[in-house]
Amino acid sequence: MPIPATYDYFPDHDGGGDKEKYKPVTWPHTFVTWSGSDGRIIPLTGDLTCRDNPAGIGIMWGPQAFDMPSYDVKADAIPNMDGSLFKSARATSRDVTIPIRIQALDRKSLIQLKQYLFHSLNPLRGPGRITVTEGDGHPRHLECYYVDGAQGNEGRDQAGFYWITYALVFRAMDPYWYANRHDQVEWHIYKDDAKPFLSDHFLPLQVGATGFKPGDPVTVTNDSSLDCWPMWTVEGPISSMAVKNLTTGQSFDFLDNFTIQVGEKVTIDTTPGVKSVILRDKKGEENLWPQVKPASAMWSLIPGDNQITITGAEPGDATVVRVTYVPRYLSYSGG
């Protein structure tokens, strides 16, 4: 049976007793914007009082599908037994509904803001982004297309001479939210440590931060509950390079006789649907898949800590290995 409790009381599971009452955290309101493919950024949690502008847009009660995506779960029936046997699960595309109200001081301003919004929503111009910024100041975005809701309804409760409401529907082909930042870790050789690397031995490169020694794995932390797909950039010289995730046991290796020369830059994109290995120099671009060992994996950063090592032969002062990744999440907040 439910046990009544005041909002500021939390059970003491440690048995310590005499805990201070919880003090609610002051938290700013959530801020939502739509960014069209035309580059326009339109606040959806704007000012409906029209104090600063002749027209504004505000979100009403009832936004939907901002948290967990829907999943397609496959299973096989078990002959002569109850239940089913799980096979697979995948997140499907996500439809997000945002009810808005456009309020203006006059009819002309209402029409102008509607036109501005419609131009930005046009899916024929490409996808846009819904960006949500919580009180912690860390925005997340969802790339999506407008699909429905702005047809207009001039019913008595739906519109007036200076205002109108819509229930905008957007479809995200990728159902996950992405951080509006790129996390980066960089490995390079300090001049003081260059001598031990100028040999034929395979040694991990040193990370560009104090406290790490050659040979130590570097911890890269993925703070979300989803895998992240990194982008690697390698600037030569270095031979027989291998990038290994000790946490998962997966490794990406170039052939032993392949060398990235001084002035050459190799980009390794592990993104599903892209997965490319490209060399760029003054001559142009070259596909490097023939220089990759067949057993290599374009591995992801799993949630939590990932222990990573970079190994290679004959690096120099100009050698740099850089990993960049964008955290992605199940929800606009948490997850």
Write out the two tokens for 193.
Answer: 């440590």
User: Is the pLDDT score of 210 beyond 60?
Assistant: no
- Residue 256 DSSP label: T
Q: How confident is the model at residue 214 (pLDDT cuts 50, 70, 90)?
A: very low
Sign of CA dihedral 266, 267, 270, 276: negative
Distance between first and last Cα of the chain? 30
Radius of gyration of the chain (CA): 26
pLDDT at 15: 59
Q: What is the SS3 assignment for 11?
A: coil
Cα gap 246→319, rounded to integer Å: 22
User: Is the pLDDT score of 201 beyond 80?
Assistant: no
Q: How confident is the model at residue 131 (pLDDT cuts 50, 70, 90)?
A: very high
Query: For residue 270, which of 226, 333, 227 has the smallest C-alpha distance?
Result: 227
Residue 157 CA, chain-centre distance (Å), reads: 39
Tell me the pLDDT of the chain averaged across its residues: 86
pLDDT at 177: 95
Burial class (CB in 10 A: 0-12, 13-18, 19+), 177: buried
Q: DSSP of 225-236, one letter per residue?
A: SS-B--EEEEEB
Greater pLDDT, 150 or 335:
150
Cα gap 261→239, rounded to integer Å: 8
Region of 273 please: left (phi>0), alpha (psi -120 to 50) or beta.
left
Domains in the chain (CATH in brackets) are 31-179 (2.40.30.200), 183-329 (2.60.120.860)
Residue 274 CA, chain-centre distance (Å), reads: 16
**250: Cβ contacts below 8 Å, ≥ 6 apart:** 244, 297, 299
Say how many residues make up the chain: 335
Write out the two tokens for 133.
Answer: 């910024």
Q: Strand ranges (DSSP E) for 189-299?
A: 203-204, 218-222, 231-235, 238-245, 250-253, 259-260, 265-269, 276-281, 284-287
Q: What is the SS3 assignment for 276?
A: strand
Beta bridge partners of 132: 32, 140
pLDDT at 309: 87
CB atoms within 10 A of CB 287: 10
Q: How confident is the model at residue 93 (pLDDT cuts 50, 70, 90)?
A: very high
Greater pLDDT, 118 or 281:
118
Q: What percentage of the chain reaches a pLDDT higher than 70?
A: 86
Cα gap 313→203, rounded to integer Å: 7
The least confident of 169-178, 243-252, 310-319 is: 310-319
Sign of CA dihedral 295, 299, 302, 304: positive
Look at the pTM and tell me if it is higher than 0.85: no
Query: For residue 119, which of 32, 37, 33 has the smallest C-alpha distance?
Result: 37
Greater pLDDT, 277 or 156:
277
User: Which element (helix H / strand E) includes 42?
Assistant: strand 41-43
Alpha helices in 99-208 (DSSP H): 107-121, 194-197
